[in-house]
Chains A and B, each alone.
Chain A
Amino acid sequence: MTKMQDAQNRLRETVKDLFAQQKVDLVVGFEAGSLPLRTRVCFLTSADEADRLVWNAFCTNNPAVYIPRLFQRPASPREEYKPPKLGIVAKACDARAVHKLLEEHQAPRENVTIIGMPCRGMACRDKVVIQAGDEVVEAVESTEGAVEIKTRGGASHRFELQDLLQQACLDCPQAAPEHVDVQIEGASRRDTTRRYEGLKNFEAMSADQRWEYFRHELSKCIRCYACRQVCPTCYCKTCFADMAKPRWTGAGDGLSDVMFYHIGRLMHQAGRCVECDACTRACPVGIDLKTFTRKLGKDVERLFDYVPGLRPDEAPLLCAFEDDDTEEFVTDG
Chain B
Amino acid sequence: MEKGIIGKSELAKLVEAMAADATCLGPVKDGQDTVLAELGPDTELSFDYANFRLPVKRLFFPQSEVTCVLRDGQLVALPPPDEKTVLFGVRPCDAQALPYLTKIFSDEKYEDPYYLKRRENAVIVSLACHTPCSTCFCTSLGGSPAGRAGCDILAFDLGHELLLEAETEKGKALLAAHEALFAAPTDAQVTAAAEQGAAAEASMAKIETDGITEKADQAFDAPLWEEIAARCVACGVCTYLCPTCHCFGFADEQVGNRTQRVKCQDACMFPLFTLEASGHNPRTTQGQRLRQRIMHKFSYTVKNVGEIFCVGCGRCVLYCPVNIDLREIIEEVRK
Determine whether the beta carbon of A226 is less than 8 Å from that of B237.
yes
Determine whether the beta carbon of B53 is less than 8 Å from that of A285.
yes
Determine whether the beta carbon of B230 is less than 8 Å from that of A43.
yes
B222 at the interface (CB under 8 A from A): no
Q: Which of B271-310 contact A (CB under 8 A)?
A: 272, 284
The interface-forming segment of A79-87, A193-201, A250-258 is A250-258
List chain B residues, Cβ under 8 A from A222. 54, 63, 240
Determine whether the beta carbon of B321 is less than 8 Å from that of A40.
no
Nearest-neighbor residue (CB-CB) of B252 within chain A: A247
Residue in A135, A226, A244, A251 whose beta carbon sits within 8 Å of that of B262 in the complex? A251
How many chain B residues sit at the interface, stated as a range, is: 35 or more
List chain B residues, Cβ under 8 A from A285. 53-54
Overall SS of chain A's interface: loop
List chain A residues, Cβ under 8 A from B54. 222, 285
Query: Measured between alpha carbons, how far is A130 from B322 in the docked complex, in Å?
Result: 22
Overall SS of chain B's interface: loop
The interface-forming segment of A31-39, A91-99, A103-111, A264-272 is A31-39
Determine whether the beta carbon of A250 is less than 8 Å from that of B327.
no
Contacts A250-B251, A285-B54; is A34 near B328 (CB within 8 Å)?
A: yes
B11 at the interface (CB under 8 A from A): no
Determine whether the beta carbon of B235 is less than 8 Å from that of A152.
no
Residue in A137, A254, A282 whose beta carbon sits within 8 Å of that of B235 in the complex? A282
Please count how many residues in chain A sit with their CB below 8 Å of the partner chain's CB atoms.
42
A290 at the interface (CB under 8 A from B): no
Query: Measured between alpha carbons, how far is A230 from B284 in the docked complex, in Å?
Result: 19
Determine whether the beta carbon of A230 is less than 8 Å from that of B235.
yes
List chain A residues, Cβ under 8 A from B236. 223-226
A262 at the interface (CB under 8 A from B): no
List chain B residues, Cβ under 8 A from A204. none
List chain B residues, Cβ under 8 A from A228. 235
A8 at the interface (CB under 8 A from B): no
Determine whether the beta carbon of A34 is less than 8 Å from that of B327.
yes
B33 at the interface (CB under 8 A from A): yes
Residue in B230, B235, B239 whose beta carbon sits within 8 Å of that of A229 in the complex? B235
Residue in A42, A229, A286 whose beta carbon sits within 8 Å of that of B234 in the complex? A229
Determine whether the beta carbon of B284 is less than 8 Å from that of A75.
yes
